[in-house]
A = this chain, B = another copy of it.
Amino acid sequence: MMSSLSYTPLKTGLCYDVRMRYHAKIYTSYYEYIDPHPEDPRRIYRIYKILAENGLIRDPALSGIDDIGDLMCKIPVREATSEEILEVHPKEQLEYLEKTQYLNRDELLSKTELGDSVYFNNDSYFSAKLSCGGAIEACKAIVDGKVKNSLAIVRPPGHHSEPEVAGGFCLFSNVAVATKNILKNYPDKVKKVMIVDWDIHHGNGTQKAFYNDDRVLYVSLHRFELGKYYPGTIHGQYDQVGEGKGEGFNCNIPWSVGGIGDAEYIWAFEQIVMPMGREFRPDLVIVSSGFDAADGDTIGKCHVTPSCYGHMTHMLKSLANGKLCVVLEGGYNLDAIARSALAVAKVLIGEPPDELPAPDKDPKPEAIEMIDRVIDLKSKYWKCFKRQITNSNCEYKGPISESFFAKKFPIQDAIRAQQIQYLTNDYNMVPLPLMNSNLPEDTVMCSTDILQSNVAIIYVHDTPEIWSKRDAIAGVIDSSASLYMDASLQFYDWALDRGYGIIDVNIPQTLYEQDNYSASLTAQEVLIKLWDNNLKYFPNVNKIAYIGVGEAYSGLVHLLGHRDTRSVVKSVIGFVGKKPLKALVPLVEESLADWYFKTSLLFADKNHSCWGENDSKKPRKRYGRVLRCDSDGIFSLIEERFEEATDFIIDSLDEWTEE
């Protein structure tokens, strides 16, 4: 051991070649000149320049020289060979692109028109081969032990290029071609490759190249928005897990909203990418490194900071003994991509990542939910997620032995069984049968004193939520540590004190294995029947306050639009929680919408989707008067707003009295 007197860490490799700037869009108007195509030749130059400006490389003339100093070392770029490209793309596709070298301007423009977001000039094919060859060489230098890791500043990008068709500014599928050739040429050294694609777009091309390949774990984080964001196909959805031997080796983490930033990316890396990477144990990690999730990119509209790119790079360095190749993909704000690439390069040479900026907000709930969903889905394939307590899903996954068919009992029924007990014993309530209905006879209960009351509180509710504790090992809920709180009783105590009558309407939510049941339609049916047929049995009731809780509230809005209840209904309270808002559709008379706005008070979750990006956004009038609460969850809303709700009801009844 004493012989190795000095330890010499390998340098970081760098691929850059000015000839990749030859590929450019042919201007057809002055407008294109002043506002160039986003996939702009300057992209790679600006990255190279910032590395030089910060002393990571030495090239005073920025001409792409070979000797670039002590920290990084130049990896010569060459054209990918046809043989290499054919590992991914069929011959027809290679020839299709080859021909662009010889087309005239009109032919090039017409080919540009025909394609899916790709442009061509006579140098496109050459630049694309260099870009692809650069990616191959950047990987090769690592595997050959010439560099410890590498950064390939290449264009045109590659990850949207599917084997059979170019698209999304991409000609050859650079990372896919590099991966296939490394796997082929280094069968002993590289058996498994992990590709992490943090470009803001889904890498449909790369995914397709390895969809049934268990040697390649492809992980993509991207905007998706139910397929509305480019490339906008179902292939970017989280449930696309790979096929055949590749099942489980494709992992999409699609963001359902824009505006994603550091908090969500770090969270996804820590909860998904890193545990899965450690379990996969790749021999090489390649990053499809678009910088269009960067703060300032007008296409990505996300907020990832340079230090976050540094942190993600730092995390990935802990896989595969640090064998990490970062290959440029998209990213269109020239300043943002330069600063992001600089942060990545610093971490590659061995510097710690800069501290993340202090977060100005929590991760978006949509992202937390998606990460949770991905973990749940992937727990089928990866042990790290099975044991993960992050998995909040304790659902029954079906019997382990086929001979054992246990009957399932919904907790909702158990809770209703108990509610009936105390509504009967403690609140002196009795069932109120609905005519012509197949619903359980305990659906509607009413207090017996309602016959003497002239005010009725009609409380329409879902089953209460449960507070509980999950067994960390067995993954089930401990029933002895579970409870629910029935907030209706708060209202009933209050109402009985004031001599009001009560009607309790129970609307179970969608049940297991009962696909044709709709809580919303059931609530509509019950409330209409109650209004049309039953209320007349209570001749003294001339003032009603409705309280709708959870999804059941939507049935209330339906009733108010379909019957003219104004002479009797004095106030409408809704505890909407996270359920969708429902607009009143005034079938009876237009002015109902105004009346509804004045008469209603609706409480929605702090994180209800209606609030959107901007807090100042307000739902329109026909949704009623909707307030944003400080908490989430039905019970918390009621706890927070009980007094406000009951005050509102009392005021509405009093006003009526004074008239």
**Candidate in A466, A631, A635 with the most chain B CB atoms within 10 angstroms:** A466
The smallest beta-carbon distance between A387 and chain B, in angstroms, is 6
B-contacting residues, A36-82, CB 8 Å: 52-56, 58, 60, 69-71
Chain B neighbourhood of A486, CB < 8 A = 406-407, 409
A34 at the B interface (CB under 8 A): no
> Across the interface, do B421 and A466 meet the contact criterion of CB distance under 8 Å?
no
Number of interface residues of A (CB under 8 A): 129
The smallest beta-carbon distance between A302 and chain B, in angstroms, is 19
The residue on B at minimum CB distance from A479 is B463
A4-B53, A406-B635 are known; give 17 further A-B pairs, CB within 8 A: A2-B60, A4-B55, A5-B60, A6-B55, A6-B58, A7-B54, A9-B350, A271-B390, A318-B353, A371-B389, A389-B391, A401-B639, A406-B490, A409-B484, A411-B415, A467-B477, A473-B607
The residue on B at minimum CB distance from A508 is B480
Listed from nearest, the 4 A-B pairs whose CB atoms lie closest are: A350-B350, A322-B352, A480-B509, A474-B633
Q: Pick the contact of A387 from B149, B368, B642 — CB < 8 Å?
A: B368
> Across the interface, do B314 and A473 meet the contact criterion of CB distance under 8 Å?
no
Supply 6 A–B pairs (Cβ within 8 Å), ascending by A. Answer: A1-B53, A317-B352, A321-B355, A371-B389, A414-B418, A473-B578
A349 at the B interface (CB under 8 A): yes
Q: Pick the contact of A474 from B387, B414, B485, B636 — CB < 8 Å?
A: B636
Residue-wise interface mask of A (531-559) relative to B, using a CB-CB cutoff of 8 A (1 in contact, 0 not): 00000000000000000000000000000
The residue on B at minimum CB distance from A362 is B387
| Complexed CA–CA distance, A466 and B6 (Å) | 61
A281 at the B interface (CB under 8 A): yes
Chain B neighbourhood of A643, CB < 8 A = 403
| Complexed CA–CA distance, A197 and B393 (Å) | 33
> Across the interface, do A7 and B403 meet the contact criterion of CB distance under 8 Å?
no
A344 at the B interface (CB under 8 A): no
Chain B neighbourhood of A467, CB < 8 A = 394-396, 476-477
A435 at the B interface (CB under 8 A): no
Known: A7-B71, A392-B389. A410 touches B482 (CB 8 A): yes
Which positions in A face B, CB cutoff 8 Å?
1-2, 4-9, 52-56, 58, 60, 69-71, 148-149, 266, 270-271, 274-275, 278, 281, 311, 314-315, 317-322, 324, 349-356, 358, 362-363, 365, 368-369, 371-372, 383, 387-396, 399-401, 403-404, 406-415, 417-418, 421, 462-487, 489-490, 508-512, 519, 577-578, 605, 607, 631-633, 635-636, 639-640, 642-643
> Across the interface, do A404 and B642 meet the contact criterion of CB distance under 8 Å?
yes
> Across the interface, do A351 and B350 meet the contact criterion of CB distance under 8 Å?
yes
The residue on B at minimum CB distance from A310 is B318
Chain B neighbourhood of A413, CB < 8 A = 418
> Across the interface, do B395 and A469 meet the contact criterion of CB distance under 8 Å?
yes
> Across the interface, do B475 and A321 meet the contact criterion of CB distance under 8 Å?
no
The smallest beta-carbon distance between A549 and chain B, in angstroms, is 12
| Complexed CA–CA distance, A414 and B418 (Å) | 5
Q: Pick the contact of A479 from B406, B465, B489, B607 — CB < 8 Å?
A: B465
| Complexed CA–CA distance, A389 and B2 (Å) | 50
Chain B neighbourhood of A473, CB < 8 A = 365, 368-369, 578, 605, 607, 632-633
> Across the interface, do B404 and A490 meet the contact criterion of CB distance under 8 Å?
yes
The smallest beta-carbon distance between A286 and chain B, in angstroms, is 15
The smallest beta-carbon distance between A458 and chain B, in angstroms, is 21
> Across the interface, do B472 and A365 meet the contact criterion of CB distance under 8 Å?
yes
Count the copies: 2
> Across the interface, do B476 and A463 meet the contact criterion of CB distance under 8 Å?
no
> Across the interface, do B409 and A483 meet the contact criterion of CB distance under 8 Å?
yes
Q: Pick the contact of A318 from B352, B472, B479, B484 — CB < 8 Å?
A: B352
The smallest beta-carbon distance between A520 and chain B, in angstroms, is 13
Known: A349-B350, A466-B477. A489 touches B417 (CB 8 A): no
| Complexed CA–CA distance, A369 and B403 (Å) | 32
> Across the interface, do B395 and A468 meet the contact criterion of CB distance under 8 Å?
yes
Chain B neighbourhood of A383, CB < 8 A = 362
Chain B neighbourhood of A421, CB < 8 A = 417
> Across the interface, do A472 and B55 meet the contact criterion of CB distance under 8 Å?
no
Q: Pick the contact of A411 from B368, B484, B487 — CB < 8 Å?
A: B484
> Across the interface, do B470 and A470 meet the contact criterion of CB distance under 8 Å?
yes
The smallest beta-carbon distance between A55 and chain B, in angstroms, is 3
| Complexed CA–CA distance, A70 and B391 (Å) | 47
> Across the interface, do A7 and B56 meet the contact criterion of CB distance under 8 Å?
yes
> Across the interface, do A372 and B472 meet the contact criterion of CB distance under 8 Å?
yes
| Complexed CA–CA distance, A606 and B365 (Å) | 35
Chain B neighbourhood of A462, CB < 8 A = 479-480
The smallest beta-carbon distance between A484 and chain B, in angstroms, is 5
The residue on B at minimum CB distance from A392 is B470
| Complexed CA–CA distance, A53 and B6 (Å) | 9
Chain B neighbourhood of A392, CB < 8 A = 389, 392, 469-470, 472
| Complexed CA–CA distance, A578 and B314 (Å) | 40
Known: A354-B321, A465-B479, A636-B474. A415 touches B412 (CB 8 A): no
> Across the interface, do B270 and A5 meet the contact criterion of CB distance under 8 Å?
no
| Complexed CA–CA distance, A87 and B337 (Å) | 48
Chain B neighbourhood of A318, CB < 8 A = 311, 314-315, 352-353
Chain B neighbourhood of A476, CB < 8 A = 465-467, 633, 635
**Candidate in A351, A406, A469, A631 with the most chain B CB atoms within 10 angstroms:** A406
Known: A311-B318, A483-B408. A390 touches B387 (CB 8 A): no
The smallest beta-carbon distance between A485 and chain B, in angstroms, is 4
| Complexed CA–CA distance, A465 and B477 (Å) | 6
> Across the interface, do A400 and B362 meet the contact criterion of CB distance under 8 Å?
no
| Complexed CA–CA distance, A158 and B340 (Å) | 41
> Across the interface, do A468 and B394 meet the contact criterion of CB distance under 8 Å?
yes
> Across the interface, do A482 and B412 meet the contact criterion of CB distance under 8 Å?
yes
Chain B neighbourhood of A482, CB < 8 A = 410-412, 466, 477
Q: Pick the contact of A480 from B321, B324, B362, B510 — CB < 8 Å?
A: B510
**Candidate in A55, A467, A640 with the most chain B CB atoms within 10 angstroms:** A467
Chain B neighbourhood of A414, CB < 8 A = 411, 414-415, 417-418, 484
> Across the interface, do A274 and B270 meet the contact criterion of CB distance under 8 Å?
yes
